[in-house]
Amino acid sequence: MVDFPPRRKPSRKGSMADVPKDLLEQIKELERLFIVDQAKLKEVTDHFVMELEKGLSVEGGSIPMNPTWVMGYPDGYETGTFLALDMGGTNLRVCEIILPEEKGEFEIIQSKYRMPEELKTGDSEELWEYIADCLQQFIEYHHETEDLEQMDKKLPLGFTFSFPATQDYIDHGILQRWTKGFDISGVEGKDVAPLLEAALAKRKLPIKLGALINDTTGTLIASHYTDDTTQIGCIFGTGCNAAYMENCGSVPKIAHYNLPPDMPIAINCEYGAFDNEHVVLPRTPYDVVIDEDSPRPGQQSFEKMIAGLYLGELFRLVLVDLHDNKCKIFEGQDIGKLRKAYSLDASFLSFIEEDPFENLSETGELFSKEIGIKANKPELELCRRLAELVGTRAARLSACGVAAICKKKDIQSCHVGADGSVFNKYPHFKARGAQALREILNWPKGKRDPVEIRAAEDGSGVGAALIAALTIKRVKAGNLVGIRNTEGMI
């Protein structure tokens, strides 16, 4: 998760009148590199549609298009008490969700636990032990009057595992690859469900893993629970992704299950991997550096251009290059702090874009305080324009994935439930994304947008609980497709 400062007043436009010619030339060159026009947006989207189709095929493609075994939407009348475990990039969150009899309602209590940095590159067993410890603390605190070992019924758990995983069953998941800065050896290629279950069993906790889900799938389901016009769930945060409901008959790679062709199944796209072949995305030399210096070069190409984890690094790489090779900004100053990789995050750009003052005084203070650089007014104007360019490109490219799903499914009108720190907190991200959708899908001016991206419900908490509830509902109905272990579910 990317931490952003509190919102301030809308930003001012700024003036380039006092910017020297050499800096103006560099700004024009940056605009040439980072601006994505309508024609390019359409080209990217059309290629995206083909790649989505390829991912559903038996042969597969760069975009995994993982079937989730979530077979349809909730009807709003699911009931019961459920646990949700949310393992993201920064925090571990444990929730208890009560679904009452009122349609589309829920009650939630939750606790957050910091994910220690050393665990992200440490030992597999240590990771699952830590997660089980957090669950135990939560249960003991919120069920302190009960004897955990004597509880009649196990609490169903929806586990939000926000990493690319293939699933032959809803209650298991084989990790394809770590993302979001995780790189724990011995887990990739393995089913993570037994690893968690073993740590829970060791502590004799009354918990039954009912579903392993991705946060994006949870976002889709939770948003549809409270707004049944939602047809796509998206995440724009540390990473990026989307999920939508497909027909089983349109997923050739699960044809051997002989499911009814019109039966719905949620697809977790994992489309951060779009265009790993570098066919269509407008990569700059700075994007190439980010990819080559990353733990996984050649992977997550789309994500590396739009996700919060990389926006600050893009900005930093440009400034270092300008200082060293181009127009000598920050001349005569020590830029040692700026040379440190990933020393700036997306909130740094957010702060710059929200500076309300004509003289960019707050941006100047930010540079002085955070990286020890005293920037003059023209340099601040360049930095302001660069932040706008990086942030705008991210928002416009992010719209291509949404537009591609709409084109593939011939969705003429719907709501898109979106979550993530960049979507929720980065200035102008929503408006810039909406404008790009208009350009891609050729909507007439002056009319309401038929596809609207809205703030999502809590996918990794409420969504996980709902999917656990849907799984139990299917077990009771005898619809066991994609469920491995039904023992203890009912």
CB 81 within 8 A of CB 155: yes
Residue 166 is which amino acid? T
Report the alpha-carbon distance of residue 451 to residue 414 in Å, rounded. 5
Structure tokens, 231: 């047809």
Contact between residue 45 and residue 400 where contact means Cβ atoms under 8 Å apart: yes
Please report which helix (H) or strand (E) contains residue 406, including its range. helix 377-409
- Asked if 92 and 460 count as a contact pair (C-beta separation under 8 A), the reply is no
Write down the catalytic residue from 86, 171, 215, 287.
215
Give the pairing type, strands 240-247 and 107-114: unpaired
Residues in the chain: 490
Contacts 24+ apart (CB under 8 A), 258-266: 259/481, 263/71, 263/72, 264/71, 264/72, 264/73, 265/67, 265/68, 265/69, 265/70, 265/71, 266/67, 266/68, 266/70, 266/71, 266/217, 266/220, 266/221
Is residue 177 part of the annotated active site? The answer reads: yes
Catalytic residue, candidates 86, 93, 177, 191: 177
Tokens of 337: 């702090």
Question: For residues 184 and 176, what is the distance between their CA atoms, to the nearest angstrom?
Answer: 12
Phi/psi for 41 (5° steps) reads -55, -45
Catalytic (active site) residue 162: yes
Alpha carbon distance 442, 366 (integer Å): 40
Instruction: Let me know: does 244 contact 416? Beta carbons within 8 Å.
Output: no
Instruction: Give every CB contact of residue 325 below 8 A, 6+ residues apart in sequence.
Output: none
Residue at token pair 């571990």: 92
The C-alpha atoms of residue 222 and residue 160 are separated, in whole angstroms, by 13
In the block, residue with structure tokens 């459920």:
82
The distance of Cα 474 from the centroid of its chain, to the nearest Å, equals: 28
Dihedral over alpha carbons 361, 363, 365, 369 (to 10 degrees): 180
Neighbours of 450 (CB within 10 A): 13
**Strand ranges for 323-405 from DSSP E:** none
- Spatial separation of the C-alpha atoms in residues 490 and 480, rounded to whole Å: 13
CA contacts within 13 A on the Cβ side of 369: 7
215 included as an active-site residue: yes
CA atoms within 13 A on the CB side of 40: 15
Q: Which of 62, 93, 162, 171 is catalytic?
A: 162
Catalytic (active-site) positions: 162, 177, 215
